[in-house]
Structure 1
Protein backbone atom coordinates (compact mmCIF):
# COMPACT_ATOMS: atom_id res chain seq x y z
CA UNK A 1 0.00 0.00 0.00
CA UNK A 2 2.84 2.42 0.76
CA UNK A 3 4.24 1.96 -2.77
CA UNK A 4 0.86 2.92 -4.25
CA UNK A 5 0.64 5.90 -1.91
CA UNK A 6 4.17 6.96 -2.98
CA UNK A 7 3.19 6.71 -6.64
CA UNK A 8 0.06 8.76 -5.97
CA UNK A 9 2.07 11.45 -4.19
CA UNK A 10 4.59 11.51 -7.04
CA UNK A 11 1.75 11.80 -9.55
CA UNK A 12 0.19 14.68 -7.64
CA UNK A 13 3.54 16.45 -7.44
CA UNK A 14 4.04 16.02 -11.20
CA UNK A 15 0.54 17.36 -11.88
CA UNK A 16 1.30 20.34 -9.64
CA UNK A 17 4.48 21.10 -11.57
CA UNK A 18 2.58 20.91 -14.84
CA UNK A 19 -0.14 23.20 -13.49
CA UNK A 20 2.42 25.76 -12.37
CA UNK A 21 4.15 25.66 -15.74
CA UNK A 22 0.87 26.17 -17.61
CA UNK A 23 1.05 22.83 -19.40
CA UNK A 24 -2.21 21.35 -18.19
CA UNK A 25 -4.49 23.56 -20.27
CA UNK A 26 -4.55 23.51 -24.04
CA UNK A 27 -1.97 26.00 -25.25
CA UNK A 28 -2.43 28.10 -28.37
CA UNK A 29 0.50 26.80 -30.46
CA UNK A 30 1.96 30.08 -31.74
CA UNK A 31 5.11 31.33 -30.02
CA UNK A 32 4.74 34.78 -31.60
CA UNK A 33 1.59 35.40 -29.54
CA UNK A 34 3.13 34.32 -26.22
CA UNK A 35 5.26 37.40 -25.60
CA UNK A 36 4.01 40.50 -23.80
CA UNK A 37 2.23 43.00 -26.00
CA UNK A 38 4.21 46.13 -26.97
CA UNK A 39 2.95 49.49 -28.35
CA UNK A 40 4.05 48.55 -31.90
CA UNK A 41 1.84 45.46 -31.80
CA UNK A 42 -1.36 47.43 -32.51
CA UNK A 43 -2.87 46.84 -35.92
CA UNK A 44 -2.48 49.60 -38.53
CA UNK A 45 -4.79 52.58 -38.30
CA UNK A 46 -5.95 52.02 -41.88
CA UNK A 47 -9.28 50.24 -42.00
CA UNK A 48 -9.27 46.49 -42.27
CA UNK A 49 -11.91 44.31 -43.85
CA UNK A 50 -15.21 44.65 -42.03
CA UNK A 51 -15.94 40.93 -42.26
CA UNK A 52 -12.85 39.96 -40.23
CA UNK A 53 -13.63 38.72 -36.74
CA UNK A 54 -10.34 39.50 -34.96
CA UNK A 55 -9.51 39.80 -31.28
CA UNK A 56 -7.41 42.93 -31.82
CA UNK A 57 -6.12 42.81 -28.23
CA UNK A 58 -4.00 39.77 -29.23
CA UNK A 59 -2.21 41.34 -32.21
CA UNK A 60 1.58 41.03 -32.36
CA UNK A 61 3.80 42.67 -34.96
CA UNK A 62 6.01 39.88 -36.30
CA UNK A 63 8.11 41.66 -38.92
CA UNK A 64 8.36 42.93 -42.45
CA UNK A 65 9.10 41.23 -45.72
CA UNK A 66 9.65 43.06 -49.02
CA UNK A 67 7.51 46.05 -48.05
CA UNK A 68 4.75 44.12 -46.28
CA UNK A 69 4.26 44.62 -42.53
CA UNK A 70 2.93 41.50 -40.80
CA UNK A 71 0.94 40.86 -37.61
CA UNK A 72 -0.38 37.68 -36.06
CA UNK A 73 -3.78 37.98 -34.40
CA UNK A 74 -6.03 35.48 -32.73
CA UNK A 75 -9.55 35.37 -34.08
CA UNK A 76 -12.55 35.89 -31.82
CA UNK A 77 -12.98 32.13 -32.19
CA UNK A 78 -10.34 30.98 -29.68
CA UNK A 79 -8.99 28.37 -32.09
CA UNK A 80 -8.34 30.62 -35.10
CA UNK A 81 -5.18 32.45 -36.12
CA UNK A 82 -5.00 35.31 -38.59
CA UNK A 83 -2.16 36.92 -40.50
CA UNK A 84 -2.66 40.63 -41.13
CA UNK A 85 -0.75 42.05 -44.08
CA UNK A 86 -0.28 45.79 -44.58
CA UNK A 87 1.49 47.05 -47.69
CA UNK A 88 0.68 50.73 -47.16
CA UNK A 89 -2.40 50.56 -49.40
CA UNK A 90 -5.54 52.36 -48.19
CA UNK A 91 -6.57 49.25 -46.26
CA UNK A 92 -4.92 46.08 -44.98
CA UNK A 93 -6.06 42.51 -45.46
CA UNK A 94 -5.93 39.31 -43.46
CA UNK A 95 -6.14 35.56 -43.92
CA UNK A 96 -7.37 33.29 -41.15
CA UNK A 97 -7.22 29.60 -40.39
CA UNK A 98 -7.23 27.17 -37.50
CA UNK A 99 -4.48 25.99 -35.20
CA UNK A 100 -2.93 24.02 -38.07
CA UNK A 101 -1.90 27.34 -39.62
CA UNK A 102 -2.86 29.48 -42.56
CA UNK A 103 -1.48 30.50 -45.93
CA UNK A 104 -2.02 33.82 -47.68
CA UNK A 105 -1.01 35.07 -51.09
CA UNK A 106 -1.65 38.23 -53.02
CA UNK A 107 0.11 41.35 -54.23
CA UNK A 108 2.29 41.38 -51.08
CA UNK A 109 3.59 37.88 -51.81
CA UNK A 110 2.88 34.51 -50.26
CA UNK A 111 3.10 33.76 -46.55
CA UNK A 112 2.60 30.73 -44.34
CA UNK A 113 1.79 30.67 -40.63
CA UNK A 114 2.81 27.42 -38.98
CA UNK A 115 2.18 26.31 -35.40
CA UNK A 116 5.04 25.66 -32.99
CA UNK A 117 6.93 22.48 -33.82
CA UNK A 118 5.69 22.30 -37.42
CA UNK A 119 7.87 22.51 -40.50
CA UNK A 120 7.59 25.52 -42.80
CA UNK A 121 7.05 25.04 -46.54
CA UNK A 122 10.14 24.08 -48.56
CA UNK A 123 12.26 27.12 -49.39
CA UNK A 124 10.36 29.41 -47.01
CA UNK A 125 12.15 32.34 -45.37
CA UNK A 126 11.56 32.89 -41.64
CA UNK A 127 10.03 36.26 -40.78
CA UNK A 128 9.33 35.22 -37.18
CA UNK A 129 8.92 32.07 -35.09
CA UNK A 130 5.62 31.23 -36.80
CA UNK A 131 5.49 33.33 -39.99
CA UNK A 132 7.33 32.50 -43.20
CA UNK A 133 7.58 34.18 -46.58
CA UNK A 134 7.16 31.70 -49.41
CA UNK A 135 9.12 32.80 -52.46
CA UNK A 136 7.51 32.37 -55.86
CA UNK A 137 8.72 29.36 -57.75
CA UNK A 138 9.31 29.22 -61.44
Structure 2
Protein backbone atom coordinates (compact mmCIF):
# COMPACT_ATOMS: atom_id res chain seq x y z
CA UNK A 1 0.00 0.00 0.00
CA UNK A 2 2.90 2.35 0.72
CA UNK A 3 4.17 1.81 -2.84
CA UNK A 4 0.73 2.75 -4.21
CA UNK A 5 0.61 5.95 -2.15
CA UNK A 6 4.11 6.91 -3.19
CA UNK A 7 3.30 6.26 -6.85
CA UNK A 8 0.12 8.33 -6.54
CA UNK A 9 1.99 11.19 -4.88
CA UNK A 10 4.62 11.16 -7.64
CA UNK A 11 1.95 11.19 -10.36
CA UNK A 12 0.16 14.06 -8.66
CA UNK A 13 3.40 16.02 -8.34
CA UNK A 14 4.20 15.37 -12.02
CA UNK A 15 0.76 16.55 -13.10
CA UNK A 16 1.07 19.70 -10.99
CA UNK A 17 4.53 20.46 -12.44
CA UNK A 18 3.34 19.88 -16.01
CA UNK A 19 0.28 22.07 -15.46
CA UNK A 20 2.42 24.83 -13.92
CA UNK A 21 4.84 24.74 -16.84
CA UNK A 22 1.96 24.92 -19.34
CA UNK A 23 0.39 27.87 -17.55
CA UNK A 24 3.67 29.77 -17.30
CA UNK A 25 4.63 29.18 -20.92
CA UNK A 26 1.12 30.14 -22.00
CA UNK A 27 1.45 33.49 -20.27
CA UNK A 28 4.66 34.32 -22.09
CA UNK A 29 3.50 32.89 -25.43
CA UNK A 30 0.69 35.42 -25.56
CA UNK A 31 2.56 38.38 -24.04
CA UNK A 32 1.91 41.57 -25.95
CA UNK A 33 3.38 45.00 -25.73
CA UNK A 34 3.40 48.56 -26.90
CA UNK A 35 6.77 49.54 -28.36
CA UNK A 36 5.91 53.24 -28.04
CA UNK A 37 5.81 52.85 -24.23
CA UNK A 38 9.34 51.42 -24.22
CA UNK A 39 11.02 54.35 -25.96
CA UNK A 40 12.65 57.26 -24.17
CA UNK A 41 10.41 60.22 -23.36
CA UNK A 42 10.55 63.24 -25.66
CA UNK A 43 9.31 66.82 -25.29
CA UNK A 44 6.13 66.06 -27.27
CA UNK A 45 5.20 63.41 -24.69
CA UNK A 46 4.43 66.03 -22.04
CA UNK A 47 0.81 65.92 -20.95
CA UNK A 48 -1.31 69.09 -21.06
CA UNK A 49 -1.43 71.08 -17.82
CA UNK A 50 -5.24 70.96 -17.85
CA UNK A 51 -5.12 67.17 -17.72
CA UNK A 52 -2.45 66.99 -15.01
CA UNK A 53 -4.49 69.32 -12.80
CA UNK A 54 -7.26 66.69 -12.77
CA UNK A 55 -4.74 64.39 -10.98
CA UNK A 56 -5.57 60.94 -12.38
CA UNK A 57 -2.30 59.52 -11.02
CA UNK A 58 -4.23 56.78 -9.23
CA UNK A 59 -5.25 55.35 -12.64
CA UNK A 60 -2.20 55.82 -14.87
CA UNK A 61 1.53 56.35 -14.51
CA UNK A 62 1.76 59.88 -15.88
CA UNK A 63 5.53 59.62 -16.35
CA UNK A 64 4.98 56.83 -18.89
CA UNK A 65 2.91 59.04 -21.26
CA UNK A 66 3.92 58.87 -24.92
CA UNK A 67 2.30 61.10 -27.54
CA UNK A 68 0.98 59.05 -30.47
CA UNK A 69 -0.80 61.55 -32.68
CA UNK A 70 -3.79 63.77 -33.29
CA UNK A 71 -7.26 63.21 -34.73
CA UNK A 72 -10.02 65.77 -35.34
CA UNK A 73 -8.53 68.24 -32.86
CA UNK A 74 -7.83 65.71 -30.10
CA UNK A 75 -4.26 64.87 -29.06
CA UNK A 76 -3.63 61.25 -28.09
CA UNK A 77 -1.25 59.61 -25.63
CA UNK A 78 -0.65 56.04 -24.45
CA UNK A 79 0.28 55.47 -20.80
CA UNK A 80 0.93 52.50 -18.57
CA UNK A 81 -1.83 51.90 -16.04
CA UNK A 82 -1.02 51.70 -12.35
CA UNK A 83 -2.46 48.18 -12.31
CA UNK A 84 0.13 45.70 -13.56
CA UNK A 85 -0.54 44.64 -17.15
CA UNK A 86 -2.78 47.59 -17.96
CA UNK A 87 -2.50 50.30 -20.59
CA UNK A 88 -4.39 53.58 -20.89
CA UNK A 89 -5.26 55.87 -23.76
CA UNK A 90 -5.83 59.59 -23.29
CA UNK A 91 -7.68 61.74 -25.81
CA UNK A 92 -7.52 65.43 -24.95
CA UNK A 93 -8.98 68.37 -26.85
CA UNK A 94 -9.19 70.92 -24.00
CA UNK A 95 -10.19 71.18 -20.32
CA UNK A 96 -13.81 70.36 -21.21
CA UNK A 97 -13.15 67.57 -23.72
CA UNK A 98 -10.74 64.99 -22.42
CA UNK A 99 -11.17 61.30 -21.65
CA UNK A 100 -8.97 58.41 -20.57
CA UNK A 101 -9.72 54.72 -20.73
CA UNK A 102 -7.66 51.84 -19.35
CA UNK A 103 -7.72 48.08 -19.82
CA UNK A 104 -5.61 44.97 -20.20
CA UNK A 105 -2.48 45.17 -22.36
CA UNK A 106 -3.51 41.91 -24.03
CA UNK A 107 -6.34 43.22 -26.14
CA UNK A 108 -8.17 46.25 -27.44
CA UNK A 109 -9.02 49.12 -25.09
CA UNK A 110 -11.88 51.18 -26.48
CA UNK A 111 -13.17 54.52 -25.20
CA UNK A 112 -15.56 57.16 -26.37
CA UNK A 113 -16.39 60.68 -25.19
CA UNK A 114 -16.39 64.34 -26.19
CA UNK A 115 -12.80 64.09 -27.47
CA UNK A 116 -13.63 61.21 -29.86
CA UNK A 117 -14.00 57.45 -30.16
CA UNK A 118 -10.72 55.53 -30.09
CA UNK A 119 -9.31 52.06 -29.63
CA UNK A 120 -5.78 51.01 -28.74
CA UNK A 121 -4.33 47.63 -29.62
CA UNK A 122 -1.02 45.89 -28.81
CA UNK A 123 1.84 45.69 -31.33
CA UNK A 124 1.13 43.34 -34.26
CA UNK A 125 -2.58 43.18 -33.40
CA UNK A 126 -4.98 43.17 -36.38
CA UNK A 127 -6.37 46.54 -37.46
CA UNK A 128 -9.88 47.01 -36.07
CA UNK A 129 -12.63 46.95 -38.72
CA UNK A 130 -13.57 50.36 -40.06
CA UNK A 131 -10.85 52.12 -38.07
CA UNK A 132 -8.62 55.04 -39.08
CA UNK A 133 -4.96 54.54 -38.12
CA UNK A 134 -3.48 57.23 -35.86
CA UNK A 135 -0.34 55.26 -34.87
CA UNK A 136 0.83 51.64 -34.66
CA UNK A 137 -1.34 51.15 -31.58
CA UNK A 138 -4.11 53.74 -31.78
CA UNK A 139 -7.09 53.95 -34.14
CA UNK A 140 -10.04 56.29 -34.43
CA UNK A 141 -13.47 54.69 -34.75
CA UNK A 142 -16.60 56.15 -36.25
CA UNK A 143 -19.11 57.18 -33.58
CA RMSD of aligned residues (A): 2.2
How far apart in 1 are the matches of 2:108 and 2:58?
17
The answer on whether the counterparts of 1:73 and 1:83 sit within 8 Å (CA) in structure 2 is yes
Provide the secondary structure at the position in 2 that maps to 1:40.
helix
Provide the secondary structure at the position in 2 that maps to 1:83.
strand
Residue 111 (structure 2) aligned to one of 100, 104, 111: 104
Tell whether 2:25 aligns with 1:31.
no
Aligned position for 1:72: 78
Residue 139 (structure 2) aligned to one of 128, 132, 136: 132
The answer on whether the counterparts of 1:49 and 1:93 sit within 8 Å (CA) in structure 2 is no
Shift, 1:78, TM fit: 2.6
User: Which aligned pairs between 1:77-96 and structure 2 lie closer than 5 A?
Assistant: 77-90=83-96, 92-96=98-102
Tell whether 2:24 aligns with 1:56.
no
TM-score normalized by structure 2? 0.69
Which of the pair is proportionally richer in helix? 2
How far apart in 1 are the matches of 2:74 and 2:58?
19
Provide the secondary structure at the position in 1 that maps to 2:112.
strand
The answer on whether the counterparts of 1:32 and 1:128 sit within 8 Å (CA) in structure 2 is no
Aligned position for 2:46: 42
Gaps of 5+ in 2: 1-27
Gaps of 5+ in 1: 1-23
How far apart in 2 are the matches of 1:91 and 1:123?
24
Provide the secondary structure at the position in 2 that maps to 1:43.
coil
Distance 1:68 1:129, change over 3 A: same
Distance 1:36 1:91, change over 3 A: same
Aligned length: 112
